[in-house]
Amino acid sequence: MQTRNKIFDDLSQLMTNAMGVAQGARTEAETAMKGMIDRWLADRDFVTREEFEAVRAMAQKAREENEALKARIEALEKKG
């Protein structure tokens, strides 16, 4: 009976070690993947949300000014 417990203990220890190795490999793979994604994103010309919102506001203002000028030109053309 003692031998059987020793086998189960050894098997349990082996499985515990295998899980530790698997967890370490997973962590290492996640770190490597995150590094690759960070480098890939850094190489792209992405803008921040704040920059996007600022340009969006400028475009909206330009559209509104364009519409106002268009209406003004139409009114002047009707007079002339």
pLDDT (0 to 100) of residue 58: 98
pLDDT (0 to 100) of residue 2: 61
pLDDT (0 to 100) of residue 42: 83
Per-residue pLDDT of the chain (80 residues; tens, 9 = 90+): 566 788 888 888 989 999 989 999 999 999 999 999 989 988 888 888 999 999 999 999 999 999 999 999 999 999 97
pLDDT (0 to 100) of residue 44: 87
Residue 13 and residue 19: Cα distance in Å, rounded? 10
Residue 74 and residue 80: Cα distance in Å, rounded? 10
Query: In a 3-state reduction of DSSP, which class is residue 49?
Result: helix
Looking at the fold, whether 14 and 39 belong to one and the same domain comes out as yes
Looking at the fold, whether 77 and 38 belong to one and the same domain comes out as no
Looking at the fold, whether 1 and 40 belong to one and the same domain comes out as yes
Domain limits for position 73: 47-80
